Amino acid sequence: MELKARLQAATKEAMKARQTERLSTLRLIAAAIKDREIAARAEGAEDGSLGDADLIAILSKMVKQRQESAKAYEEGGRLELAEKEQAEIALIQEYLPRQLDAAETAAAIDKAIADLGADSIRDMGRVMAELRNRHAGQMDFGAVGPMVKTRLLN
């Protein structure tokens, strides 16, 4: 089942089960998707429909926003709000692909570098683009960038 259909089905189930927190987060996801579809139509896409890769990008962005908010709440001593953000992160991650662990990430970086024949820091953009194509939503590209740079400098 495609991701958008899974999200819609989960929203219906949450409504029926009267799971207010879950329903609230699923509605936030739906609103973010709808906003992106409207933006896509404004940019000239014919029907404004989004593929799974676009939806994964939206969900990944939502997770990152909530991680930043949770960190800010923890630093501010607002633990109840930080816990709420963590709960939303957990729910959103249910719909994201499994994250690669450190060893899998290192292997993916090595494979991309080998496949592209990258041998200098000038190839970093190509390597990062290839990793994004192959592993969208499966790794934190903010953390992967320095790893790629280190490998290309050695």
Give the tokens for residue 139: 């790794």
Q: What is the pLDDT of residue 42?
A: 85
Q: What is the pLDDT of residue 44?
A: 75
Q: What is the pLDDT of residue 45?
A: 64
Domains and CATH numbers, the chain: 3-93 (1.10.1510.10), 102-153 (1.10.10.410)
C-beta atoms surrounding 92 within 10 Å: 22
Q: 38-42: list long-range contacts, CB under 8 Å, 24+ apart.
A: none
Q: What is the pLDDT of residue 134?
A: 87
User: pLDDT truncated to tens, each residue of the chain (154 aa)?
Assistant: 588 999 999 999 999 999 999 999 999 999 999 999 998 888 876 666 788 878 888 998 999 999 999 999 999 999 999 999 999 999 999 998 888 888 999 999 999 999 999 888 999 999 999 998 888 778 888 889 999 999 888 7
Q: What is the pLDDT of residue 153?
A: 87
Q: 6-9: list long-range contacts, CB under 8 Å, 24+ apart.
A: 6/95, 7/33, 7/55, 7/95
Q: What is the pLDDT of residue 90?
A: 93
Burial 110-129 (b: 16+ CB within 10 A, else e): eebbeeeebeeeebbeebbe
